[in-house]
Structure 1
């Protein structure tokens, strides 16, 4: 029987909600499953002190190395990083990092095939670069290079000699001196990316974008797990669901926005996500397993790629908790079987 190990940095699986879902899904798929942290790995004996879900409770069990590892969390210490590296050399991991926002942008740009869908993006380090950029684009978005969940994103619109600034909590109008002081403070603590603002708004004027969630299934093929819309509150530019945005049923949203053409837009998004995922697989040395692709549609219904994430979060609605863990578990089984098959061929 295939055994999957879920590797995470938190010691207590009860604090990792998805651990229950993945353990239950693994059981329904007829495979073994246990949870563990790097500190519980004995490299010399190839044993792990893991936790197995039994009758709704996590029970300590001494386990041999699993056939495949669902690496759900990144190592937090140097020692954990060493253990992570050792395991990855001997056991297939489901997930592999695609890098930060700017490295993904540069890789896609170099790959050319999807370069036309990229928003021009630059790393910005000082006020002079900001003012030069806003002389070309009157409306821009600033994103922390290491940001996530919409935290720290700034929208700035230049209106003659004044600047309208909107972030998660504020809506300010600043003059040149005031924004100069504001930006100096921001750039001293964080490196940012800057992009021209692509207007993607509902008929009521709310900013929105789409999350295209794609995964590999039990055959190692890319499939659409979900497409959902993220809508900013009135007066905000932040669509992220963890930072004030909200969502609604996709078909209802598309019908409201695109009328009789809603299904064409839906298929356009789904096909685009699969095509992009396949392309990105070709750009990396390690095979990818899951992507969260954030895109917008401009007034001409052209897709623009805002960013691509690995280990994407899941919308808290619409039964997505069923399909996503099933694809993850089935792909893990696929990797384990492939590893055994490749080993037999080498022997």
Structure 2
């Protein structure tokens, strides 16, 4: 058990790269670092040492920042693969008193919340005033608009609704032109005739909802000799033209807007679909912290999302495996894109501050030369595979928001 990591993490960490560097300096791999920090935090909770006494949920110490975590589905928070779970167990290392709550736990009349706290490794309910900062996954203004507006009167919300779709985002990026080289032509699905013409031109296309995520509703259509192939999830079926038109009419009748794109052959040497997630989240001093990881899907499927049965691996190992001597060039292009694009995308959404931005990047080889293609831009993203580092980034941003809030109060 390397207890030296705890004070180091608390005092010096400024993103995953710094944490990994300091862990290596102590001759422990980054994987050991994350695991040991998590175990050490749990052990601190169980020990209940007098020297590490934690203030009660109702009266936090002056140095402690109370933060509420607003969720609809509160059960998943306790699953170890989620950043939220790591946050609940490590928050005290950063003088943050974190609690979980559901919309039903909020009393607008008394302006209090019946929050769920983790105290000495036990889940404890405490009724507390609205906290200074709320990390909210709820953005639905139609159902929760009043709640969000009331919370925002006393608290700083980490996330805010974005009124955009995949098509609007594409149109914005096309008009600006700065990243035109990585954009995939995208059009709104208008009619079966339009799709049949697109198949004649491109041979393979993707149809997907204009809103949504996690690979839901993504379909691939391919033109074959005398027939068409329709692939959804891991299932493929043959259609004649009558069957294709029937399928497209059914999509047309749904109360969902769809878009289509030419298919980009971003597949591994083994034939699995993949993309690279560029994960950007605001942390220390409000600056974006960047992580890269590949997402590899089933060979018979369309998408590479982890939620759809995909998997991941170390980005450097993956790039060497797939691109050989070109891996360094590809990595540099991905890193450069990650360093520039999030703030660039932010510029289209002021005054709303984006907390997180996720870029899904496909890589297609043409004559042996890999080229990047932007599949999607996402907001409200999770941090799989680096939960501890992602939790730390959250904590640093919470502190940044509280500092901003304090300065604004002083001015007013």
The aligned residue for residue 311 of structure 1 is 380
Contact 1:9 1:75 in 2 (8 A): no
Q: Identify which range, 104-113 or 275-284, moves more after superposition.
A: 104-113
The aligned residue for residue 407 of structure 2 is 341
Q: Distance in 2 between matches of 1:77 and 1:18?
A: 27
Match 1:208 to one of 265, 268, 274: 274
SS at match of 1:283: coil
Q: Against the structure 1 CA distance between its residues 175 and 12, is the aligned structure 2 distance closer, same or farther, given a 3 Å change threshold?
A: closer
The aligned residue for residue 266 of structure 1 is 331
State the shift of 1:143 in Å. 0.7
SS at match of 1:264: helix
- Deviation sequence 1:61-104 (CA, Å, 0-9, x none): 111221111012345873x3211122234422112344332232
SS at match of 2:382: coil
Q: Distance in 2 between matches of 1:126 and 1:258?
A: 39
Contact 2:234 2:302 in 1 (8 A): no
Q: Does 1:322 align with 2:388?
A: yes
Match 2:174 to one of 109, 126, 129: 109
Q: Identify which range, 162-171 or 103-112, moves more after superposition.
A: 103-112
Q: Distance in 2 between matches of 1:153 and 1:14?
A: 27
Q: Does 1:93 align with 2:157?
A: yes
State the shift of 1:327 in Å. 0.4
Unpaired runs of at least 5, structure 2: 1-63
Q: Identify which range, 213-222 or 105-114, moves more after superposition.
A: 105-114
Q: Which protein has the larger Cα radius of gyration, Structure 1 or Structure 2?
A: 2
Match 1:251 to one of 298, 316, 324: 316
Q: Distance in 1 between matches of 2:157 and 2:322?
A: 41
State the shift of 1:154 in Å. 0.9
Q: Distance in 2 between matches of 1:13 and 1:60?
A: 18
SS at match of 2:285: coil
Contact 1:9 1:74 in 2 (8 A): no
Contact 2:133 2:157 in 1 (8 A): yes
- Deviation sequence 1:122-162 (CA, Å, 0-9, x none): 12143122123223322100112233221221111123442
Q: Does 1:238 align with 2:341?
A: no
Contact 1:217 1:327 in 2 (8 A): yes
- Deviation sequence 1:155-180 (CA, Å, 0-9, x none): 11123442122121322222211211
Q: Distance in 2 between matches of 1:228 and 1:51?
A: 32
Q: Does 1:152 align with 2:184?
A: no
Q: Distance in 2 between matches of 1:220 and 1:309?
A: 19
Contact 1:141 1:154 in 2 (8 A): yes
SS at match of 1:203: coil
Count, aligned residues: 341
The aligned residue for residue 65 of structure 2 is 2
Q: Against the structure 1 CA distance between its residues 66 and 252, is the aligned structure 2 distance closer, same or farther, given a 3 Å change threshold?
A: same
Unpaired runs of at least 5, structure 1: none
